[in-house]
Amino acid sequence: MENLDQYVAFDLEFNTVNDVSHIIQLSAVKFVNHEEVAHFDSYVYSEVPLQSFINGLTGITSEKIAHAPKLEQVLSDFADFIRGAALIGYNAHKSDLPILAENGLDVASSYVVDLYDEAFERRSSDLNGIANLKLQTVADFLGIKGKGHDSLEDARMTALVYERFLEFDSNKSYLEEQEESHGDNPFAALGGWFD
């Protein structure tokens, strides 16, 4: 997995009506040197009626989107926030990237790490055969707190899952270095106490 010192994790919530997905919340967190330094979070105005299923899933109400900025403004502000950054997400190939592209913001070329793919690869090792690969399930397993289906919380959980995977990689690298320098002797690192 690519080790990024600076990146933006993002997520969006949407309301699909008649096979058209309307963005209703767009969020991102910016990390520099493994610390969150800024965040972006906006609801998005929509005239399309909010499905009760989406309201129940996300907690987003008709009032929140009725008084929110229009999509063009939110996408412009979001583009400014992520400008020049490497992007990471959780299964964003499936919906987030295509929905952004459909609305005129194609950021696929900046997308460098998909944490769903990483979780899939690590399922039998770092994730101990976890039951499913939903972001909330992976975050809970790793001891990361957050409320799913709120795009700011999901973006933050995505970044923290990424940071945890980086820790796993660092620990594995350290152990491999120890094995290389000490061979098969488990007491070699103790410097001759057991000679």
Domain boundaries, the chain: 6-169
Complete edge-to-edge strand list for the sheet that includes strand 111-114 = 35-43, 20-32, 6-17, 87-89, 111-114
Residue position matching structure tokens 């993002």? 10
Q: What average pLDDT score do residues 118-128 get?
A: 95
What is the per-residue pLDDT for 188? 59
Pairwise CA distance, residues 45 & 55, whole Å? 15
Q: Is the pLDDT of residue 189 over 60?
A: no
User: Are 177 and 188 within 8 A, CB to CB?
Assistant: no
The band of 172, judged by pLDDT with boundaries at 50, 70 and 90, is confident
Share of the chain above pLDDT 90, in %: 82
Q: What average pLDDT score do residues 168-187 get?
A: 71
What is the per-residue pLDDT for 178? 67
Q: Is the pLDDT of residue 175 over 70?
A: no
What is the per-residue pLDDT for 171? 87
At 136, list the tokens: 């909330």
Q: What average pLDDT score do residues 166-188 get?
A: 72
Q: What average pLDDT score do residues 23-28 get?
A: 98
User: Which range, of 135-149, 152-166, 180-194, averages the lowest pLDDT?
Assistant: 180-194
Helices (H), the chain: 52-58, 62-66, 71-82, 96-102, 115-122, 135-141, 151-182
Q: What is the pLDDT of residues 61-87, one digit of tens each?
A: 999 999 999 999 999 999 999 999 999
Q: What average pLDDT score do residues 90-104 get?
A: 96
At 146, list the tokens: 């957050």
What is the per-residue pLDDT for 191? 58
Q: Is the pLDDT of residue 184 over 70?
A: no
The band of 21, judged by pLDDT with boundaries at 50, 70 and 90, is very high
Mean pLDDT computed over every residue of the chain: 91
Q: For the domain bounded by 6-169, which CATH number is listed?
A: 3.30.420.10
User: Are 31 and 37 within 8 A, CB to CB?
Assistant: yes
What is the per-residue pLDDT for 42? 98
